[in-house]
């Protein structure tokens, strides 16, 4: 989901806001990839901290 791939705000999620908060592209702004839709963030946790596959747990994306 995130080009940074390390994926968490440590690398460039929240800090850069590249695909997260600032742009909201994959974050809760659009909810495309965040907990709004839960497609890849909080709700499903597929890409969020639940599984940590793509969020800050693993920070993969």
Q: What's the rounded Cα separation, in Å, for the pair 30 and 3?
A: 18
Please state, rounded to an integer, the average pLDDT across all residues of the chain.
42
Residue 5: how many other CB atoms lie within 10 Å = 12
Q: What was the pLDDT predicted at 48?
A: 42
Q: What was the pLDDT predicted at 8?
A: 44
Q: What's the rounded Cα separation, in Å, for the pair 2 and 20?
A: 9
Structure tokens at 34: 């965040």
Q: What angle do CA 41, 17, 50 make, to 5 degrees?
A: 20
Residue 9: φ, ψ to 5°: -70, -15
13-36 pLDDT, tens digit each? 444 334 444 433 444 443 444 444
């Amino acid at each position: 989901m995130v080009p940074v791939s390390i994926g968490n705000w440590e690398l460039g999620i929240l800090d850069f806001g590249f695909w997260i908060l600032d742009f909201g592209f994959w974050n809760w702004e659009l909810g495309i990839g965040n907990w709004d839709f839960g497609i890849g963030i909080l709700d499903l946790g597929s890409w969020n901290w639940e599984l940590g596959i793509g969020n800050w747990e693993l920070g993969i994306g």
